[in-house]
Amino acid sequence: MRRAAVAVAGLAAVAGPLAVADVAATAEHAALPHRLGVDEREYWVFPTHNPVGSGRVEFDVTNFGMDMHDFSIRDRRGNVLSSTPLASGASAVVTVKLASGRYTLFCSVSNHEALGMHARLTVRSPVGRSRTRGVGRSRTRGAS
């Protein structure tokens, strides 16, 4: 048993660099996160991961600011897919189905976006799949 394990480890060491490159290429999408944190404050929005994988994406949002904010997502055509109000210190978990593309995470309160509360988010699909069903549907829990 022990000898077999050593033999396998030796083989892996020899094949190492090539095998790792192949795995990295084919598993690129699988490696993209579908869950990320989003921190908000006066006046910025900071996603902890970017890019993320397409499909169900879970945003764990916290308003670290003094003021009332919200967490909103807009696609490139200007459609707002989700908007969740967040009191000072509040957190929410917002789940949205996103197809590959570029999105804007922003705060729609007053002129906060113009003051800097916006961030780009890139969503990538696995190879050979460019569409995701149910895009734009969202679910929120824990908003306060």
* Minimum separation from the CB atom of position 61 to Cu ion (A): 12
How would you classify the pairing of strands 80-86 and 69-74? antiparallel
Q: Which of 32, 74, 112, 125 binds Cu ion (CB under 5 A)?
A: 112
Q: Which of 45, 96, 107, 123 binds Cu ion (CB under 5 A)?
A: 107
Give exposure, 59-98, as e/b (b: 16+ Cβ within 10 Å). Answer: bebbbbbebebbbbbbbeeeeebbbbbbeeebebebbbbb
C-beta of 70 vs 121, nearer to Cu ion: 70
Joined tokens for residue 4: 């077999």
| Cis peptide leading into residue 43 (ω within 30°) | yes
Q: Where does this chain touch Cu ion (CB under 5 A) — which range of 20-28, 61-69, 81-89, 132-140?
A: 61-69
Per CB under 5 A, the list member of 69, 98, 99, 106 interacting with Cu ion is 69
* Binding-site member from 81, 109, 135, 143 for Cu ion (CB under 5 A): 109
Which of residues 94 and 117 has its CB atom nearest to Cu ion in the complex?
117
With beta carbons less than 8 A apart as the criterion, state whether 124 and 54 touch: yes
Q: Using CB under 5 A, list all residues that contact Cu ion.
A: 69, 107, 109, 112, 117
